[in-house]
Structure 1
């Protein structure tokens, strides 16, 4: 038993299972949904420039992890080129630094106070063979957890080792750099995992559908090259304010209202 509980990743898995059971009881299987329990706050994209939603949505078909309640409405963001590649064709795909998003700044999505930050995890081995490993002692890798108004907490995961720029108790402003994109923790390749949860606990706080503001979005070119799963025909109809996999997104600035964003999506 000592070996089992000496494995931090296994311990986290056990805590996740226990948390799922606790949330099922607490919420009587009536977990947050897009129609009645979306985020109270409005959130900006946690990066600058154009990134692609590789995983995530607010319905079961597009969900990041529908049966993992904390991550039900999570998103995985990467940078893809117009050929649908996450790193140049002439680069070494085993090298995390070769990926377009690696080392890019990760930004606070809203004003708040840092509740937790974690450092010390190395990048995971790139899953070229489809087998995902874990770099370090936490499946989130290096991460930042920020408390926002209304009891909502944003979680920014898989950050680059040595890049976490904030500590618990620090006040942060929307758009402030808190770290850099990496591939630490349970990661197949460099990307940014982002979700909002109702509470500080990663294990027993359900995720909520994130209402984004100030976002321009359109279908990513050649998305199927990066993700062979078909995108449901209506997956993007809920934007704004919700995102779904297959969208290329970028900040539109304060002047972009819903009508402008929707028009951009149609073009």
Structure 2
């Protein structure tokens, strides 16, 4: 009879539950929020060009994963066309390379030091039937974790296999390429998962609302075609500096 410890994804799920309990004790349920706990660091977008926030926000209604406190303020970014599609209508939707964001450069959102860099995860099968699989031994897939000032760590996940361009201990600068967008790990289709956590642990470091700078944002055309969930009234009023799903974003200016 197989052990659960032979299933790395299940082990991660158990660690996440244990981490939630540890955070409840440590923070007495007073976790960072948009009013008093937003990031001390001002972050750039971790990519160039126009992308859309498909998932994420700073309130329970818009949150990526409200009950998963490490990822409470995470974002999933994709590239959508003006019809709200993430890949061309005549493309093979089962092929990750068909998606507009696949293979695009992922950038360090601020200066820092690489704390972790994980490689070796293949793409997950595209969830055409709605069932999300996991490609590889980590739900983050291939990822880079960067330590910044004020004890903040940014996590960039689901990178393309073989694309991670940095290693633990490397010093990186804002805008440096750290990998390419892929669909590895626990991924429904190619996208970039990005969050900032207050500590190094993926399991017990709470997420913080991310203050962005140098960003242009507007409602994405035909966003409802990609995401039928309504965007709560007033959600866009939080920008700047906070983003919400349904916004098409791009860097207004990137520092050299």
Query: Residue 227 of structure 1 aligns with which residue?
Result: 227
| Superposed displacement of residue 53, structure 1 | 0.0
Does 2:49 align with 1:37?
no
Note the C-alpha offset of 1:3.
2.1
Q: What secondary structure sits across from 1:224 in the alignment?
A: helix
Aligned residue runs from structure 1 range 33-182, under 5 A: 33-182=33-182
TM-score by length of structure 1 reads 0.94
**Unpaired stretches in structure 2, ≥5 consecutive residues:** none
Unaligned runs of 5+ in 1: 256-267
SS in structure 2 at match of 1:237: helix
- Structure 1 match to 2:236: 236
Q: Deviations over 1:139-168 (max 9, x none)?
A: 000000000001000000000000000000
Report runs of 4+ in structure 1 exceeding 4 Å deviation: none
TM-score, reference length from structure 2: 0.98
Shift of 1:235: 1.0
- Whether the 8 Å CA contact 2:175–2:254 is kept in 1: the answer is no
Q: Match for residue 6 of structure 1? A: 6
Q: Output the aligned Cα RMSD.
A: 0.9
Deviation digits for residues 182-218 of structure 1 (CA, Å, limit 9, x no counterpart): 0000000000000000000000000000000000000
SS of equivalent to 1:32 = coil
Q: 1-side partners of 2:232 and 2:2: how far apart? A: 46
Hey, what's the Cα distance between the residues in 2 that align with 1:96 and 1:2? 32
1:232-259 deviation digits (Å, cap 9, x = unpaired): 111101000000000000000169xxxx
CA distance in 2, matches of 1:114, 1:61: 32
